[in-house]
Amino acid sequence: MQFSAAQIALLINARVEGDPSVSVGSFGKIEEAVSGQLAFLANQKYEEYLYSTGASIIIINEAQELKQPVAATLLRVPDAYTAFATLLAKYQEIVAQQLTGIQEPVYISKTATLGEHIFLGAFSYLGENVKLGNHVKIYPGVYLGDQVVVKDHSVLHPGVKIYHNCVIGSHVTIHAGTVIGSDGFGFAPQADGSFKKVPQIGNVEVGDYVEIGANSTIDRATIGSTLIKSGAKLDNLIQIAHNVEVGHNTVIAAQAGISGSTKLGNNVMIGGQAGLAGHIQVANGSKINAQAGLGKSLKVPNSSVTGSPAYNYSQAIRSQATARNLPEMEKRLKDLEEMVRQLLAEKV
């Protein structure tokens, strides 16, 4: 597909600087792009490539000053990174609209309800009373258990498994290999040292505009629902335990783990490999640094923590700075001790 600079400008509300009729058919990184490709410049570390790239069209910030002539047609926008993300989303949407129909073989229960303009990839399985909204894309090898609901415009990539009774909102993207609704880790210790499994009879509810990365796992609730609220973004390889609540627009990076019944507020940011204990609360806007271990609630909104056990970010940075100075401090202490010994010896 080919798009002109004028057409792209309409999609991202950009101001054209150069030839509006020039067209592109693919995307490229600004340092590698060739003729017929579109690139963008958001990070000033790559500014030098603005003048040497082979890209035909470049999205740049409105405030970007040119130090020399640029051969490409420029599309000026308030935020180049956001505009590029918007353009990619629209391009992906156009491509996805072309993907419709039902491949063979698939299994579709007689009680399943299918919306309009859906795509079902080969070897997908739809259990009893499954409900698919309009424009849903189910890629090959997806399993949907009984009573699963997937709402409009959601996309489930290959190998996604969603257990019974779970609900997936609209405009949700779930990447390959993710499992939603598997049993929570609930076992009651017995007097003889064994463990009795606690049945997990709840479900998982995923809100609208959520994205979940590859090979993540979200456990069903023991009772009630594990909640991933609208706008949340989860990276690859994340573990969300039973009865956890992830707030609106919260983002969690790869390999993080959230223990059972922990409640995350809205707009929380959690770095990679962070671990959160169970039954705690994290206030709105909190930031938990990568590899932090959080064992107690964060009750003050917009606070930042780091380390394991996690504590206030500013205090942690000061502690690290002090630790780096310990060798010099030790030397100074020894010098002071020697001075004290000499002064005492002179008095004697």
pLDDT value of residue 348: 65
Say which CATH class 3-97 falls into: alpha beta
188, β-bridge pairs: 196
Is the pLDDT at 287 greater than 90? The verdict is yes
3-state secondary structure 224-256: CEEEECCCCEECCCCEECCCCEECCCCEECCCC
| Burial per residue of 87-98, b for 16 or more beta-carbon CB atoms within 10 angstroms, e otherwise | beeebeeeeeee
Residue 202 one-letter amino acid = G
Name the DSSP class of 304.
E
pTM: 0.80
pLDDT value of residue 319: 77
DSSP secondary structure string, 38-88?
EEEE-SGGGGGGGTT---SEEEEETTPPPSS--SSEEEEES-HHHHHHHHH
Q: What burial class does residue 307 get, using C-beta atoms within 10 Å of its C-beta: 0-12 exposed, 13-18 middle, 19+ buried? A: middle
Check residues 317 and 100 and name the one with the higher pLDDT. Answer: 100
| Arithmetic mean of pLDDT, 60-65 | 96
**CATH code for residues 101-314:** 2.160.10.10
Q: Which band of pLDDT confidence, cut at 50, 70 and 90, is reported for residue 19?
A: very high
Contacts of 288 (CB under 8 A, 6+ apart): 268, 269, 270, 271, 274, 276, 282, 294, 298, 304, 305, 306, 310
Contacts of 337 (CB under 8 A, 6+ apart): none
The answer to which of 30-39, 181-190, 333-342 has the lowest mean pLDDT is: 333-342
pLDDT, tens digit, 9 for 90 and up, residues 136-185: 999 999 999 999 999 999 999 999 999 999 999 999 999 999 999 999 99
| Arithmetic mean of pLDDT, 250-256 | 98
Name the DSSP class of 109.
-
Distances (CA, A) of 187 to 182, 191, 197: 15, 13, 4
pLDDT, tens digit, 9 for 90 and up, residues 227-241: 999 999 999 999 999
Tokens of 293: 């271990």
Q: What burial class does residue 85 get, using C-beta atoms within 10 Å of its C-beta: 0-12 exposed, 13-18 middle, 19+ buried? A: middle
Confirm if 253 and 231 have CB atoms less than 8 A apart: no
Confirm if 86 and 38 have CB atoms less than 8 A apart: no
Is the pLDDT at 96 greater than 80? The verdict is no
Is the pLDDT at 251 greater than 70? The verdict is yes
Phi, psi of 250 (to 5 degrees): -85, 140
- Give the residue range(s) of CATH 2.160.10.10 domains in the chain: 101-314
* Tokens 């597909």 found at: 1
Confirm if 281 and 301 have CB atoms less than 8 A apart: no
User: Of 153, 157, 175, 242, which one is the catalytic site residue?
Assistant: 242
| Arithmetic mean of pLDDT, 231-257 | 98
pLDDT value of residue 338: 86
Give the whole-angstrom CA distance, residue 296 versus residue 310: 9
- Give the residue range(s) of CATH 3.40.1390.10 domains in the chain: 3-97
Q: Which band of pLDDT confidence, cut at 50, 70 and 90, is reported for residue 86?
A: very high
Confirm if 176 and 190 have CB atoms less than 8 A apart: no
Closest CA to 137 of 36, 20, 318, 151: 151
Q: Which band of pLDDT confidence, cut at 50, 70 and 90, is reported for residue 18?
A: very high
Confirm if 295 and 278 have CB atoms less than 8 A apart: no
- The answer to whether 242 is a known catalytic residue is yes
